[in-house]
Structure 1
Amino acid sequence: MAKILPLHDMLRDNCQKHGIVHEFLSIDGSMIPYHGHHSAKQFIRNKPVGFGYKMWMMCSADGYPYNFSIYCGKDENRKLPLGSQVVMDMLQPVVNKDSHVIFFDNFFTSYALMVDLTKQDFRARGTIRENRTEKCHLLPKKEIEKKERFL
């Protein structure tokens, strides 16, 4: 990745040049298709693009990328779980924290992450896995499924 890192950084800096102007931001992973041999290549089962490079991205509601990074494997210095670390890293360039709403899926969402984001004045929403609710007192899954959805 060292060969393309200068281009990667230049593209990211240009995407952030005028600031983060959209209210709704989404953090998710995406795949860049690649079928050759490389140590950073990932395989993710049941995805439209199964083989390739994994990228973490923070985009606006209309798809404009504000921050992104290529996943190169396990980081020995990481203190948080991977999903929480990715969210915190992607949110680094956000200045006006209370003027944005952050959305992410159940890979990233955890009780501890939501507490950390609230302490930093971020408004965040995300689906959650049953085993990551910790101290939250939520309705049982069957009761939630019976309720009507709203926006």
Structure 2
Amino acid sequence: MTVRFTAQQVLENIFSHVQQDYSDSEQEEAEDVSEDEDGEEYNPEHDASLSSEEEQQQDIPQAEREKLLSKNDKIRWSSVAAYHNQNELSWIWQTWRACQVHQCIETRETASDKLAAIREVWDEWVARLLLLYNPGPDVTVDEQLVPFRGCCPFRQYMPSKPAKYGIKSWVACDAKSSYAWKMQVYTGKPTSGGPEKNQGMRVVLDVTEGLRGHNVTCDNFFTSYELRRQLLRRNVTMVGMVRKNKPELPPALLAAKDREVFSSRFAFTPTTTLVSYLPKKNKNVLLLSTLHTGVIGMYSCRRMTARWPLERDQPELDAS
């Protein structure tokens, strides 16, 4: 039969052993009285029969013993291994380690939660972030890579990042102060089943939960037409780039041939604006916004001029 202990039970067991030995040592000192006090004759053979263990304890200076007292002067520790034998100390250490393992297994399913070792501390810290700061009207959602090359089951390799190897997190930050308002650690693909579907939408909905009346900016990994609908239910607007493989996009805005460089095309719904901008020849960028829903007219700011600074700035004016 396997006996399991909690961390509190192990600590109580350790301190009970220490306090019991401390009380036993005081009792032995009280029994070791002088000849006048107990009325017995002095026996010189009694001192000669002291065990080697007791002689080692007597040889320790008093100043050295005082250094082994606890900070609150309630527990006396000995530098001589007389209080616990090796088997007992080994049992305490094994029990402590077993307690840590069983507590991790019982409270967290390590097969599904790879962050079980620090989950309790992490959740408590993330909960504190929400209480310490109120984000402004603009919030940005993106990924963060913490450099790390050690042993970790969910270490990520991202060649586009400076560190390349590390632990990836999803972060919702205030756009003005860069304060990390809410975070999630990416622990890799699920242990059972295939890859997660609509991961970008799930991440944005998780890290922006609790926001009302804000605007969220994200890149094309997160942005989708369904995410726009879910955020509007929370009274949250969104601005983000869109990948061209989304089925909700009209083919007319995907075409880049026979279009002038720096030109823009727009498409509208009652709650959404979609923009197709051409920064280079045969290459367009798509932007989806629920923040800008007004009627937009298409016109050009280009003018005939012989001044090169003005000619240089005209494409940017058209794009804006």
Q: 1:31 Cα deviation (Å)?
A: 0.5
> Which residue of structure 1 lines up, in the alignment, with residue 249 of structure 2?
136
The aligned counterpart of 2:179 is: 64
Q: 2:139 aligns with which of 6, 18, 25?
A: 25
Residue number in structure 2 paired with 1:82: 199
Cα deviation digits, residues 45-75 of structure 1 (max 9, x gap): 2222211111000000121011001111224
Q: State how far apart, in whole Å, the 2-side matches of 1:36 and 1:71 are.
A: 16
Between the aligned partners of 1:59 and 1:21, the Cα distance in structure 2 is: 8
Residue identity in the other structure for 2:210: P
Partner amino acid, structure 1, of 2:220 = N
Structure 2 contact 217–240 (Cα < 8 Å) conserved: yes
Is 1:113 the equivalent of 2:283? no
One-letter identity of the residue aligned with 1:104: C
Hey, what's the Cα distance between the residues in 1 that align with 2:230 and 2:210? 17
Letter in 1 for 2:184: S
Q: CA deviation at 1:19?
A: 5.4
What is the distance in 1 between the residues matched to 2:139 and 2:167? Answer: 22
Could you say what the CA RMSD is over the residues aligned between the two structures, in angstroms?
2.3
Query: Partners in 2 of 1:141 and 1:22 — Cα distance?
Result: 37
1:22 counterpart SS class: coil
Q: Distance in 2 between matches of 1:23 and 1:79?
A: 30
Q: Distance in 2 between matches of 1:105 and 1:141?
A: 21
Structure 2 partner of 1:104 = 218
TM-score by length of 1: 0.84
Q: In the comparison of the two structures, how many residue pairs are matched?
A: 146
Which secondary structure state, in structure 2, belongs to the residue aligned with residue 29 of structure 1? strand
Displaced runs of 4+ in structure 1, greater than 6 A? none
The unaligned stretches of length 5 or more in structure 1 are none
Matches within 5 A, 1:38-53: 38-53=152-167
More helix by share: 2
Report Cα offsets for 1:78-103 as digits up to 9, x if no partner. Answer: 97511011011111232xx22x1001
What CA distance in whole angstroms lies between the structure 1 residues aligned with 2:197 and 2:204?
10
Relative contact order: is structure 1 or structure 2 higher (C-alpha 8 Å, sep ≥ 6)?
A: 1
Mean alpha-carbon deviation: is it higher for 24-33 or for 141-150? 141-150
Gap change, CA 1:106 and 1:46, over 3 Å in 2 = same
For residues 95-120 of structure 1, give each alpha carbon's deviation from its aligned partner in whole angstroms, at most 9, with x where no partner exists.
xx22x100100111112211222233
Q: Does the CA contact (< 8 Å) of 2:172 and 2:182 recur in 1?
A: yes
Correspondence for 2:237 = 123
- Give the fraction of aligned pairs with identical amino acids, expressed as a percent: 25
Look up the equivalent residue of 1:72 and give its one-letter code. Answer: T
| Alignment partner, residue 278 of structure 2 | 145
Structure number, greater radius of gyration: 2
5+ unaligned residues in a row in structure 2: which ranges?
1-114, 260-276, 280-314
- Deviation at 1:20? 3.0
Q: Deviations over 1:3-50 (max 9, x none)?
A: 222232222122111453311101110001110121110111222221
What TM-score do you get using the length of structure 2 for normalisation?
Answer: 0.42
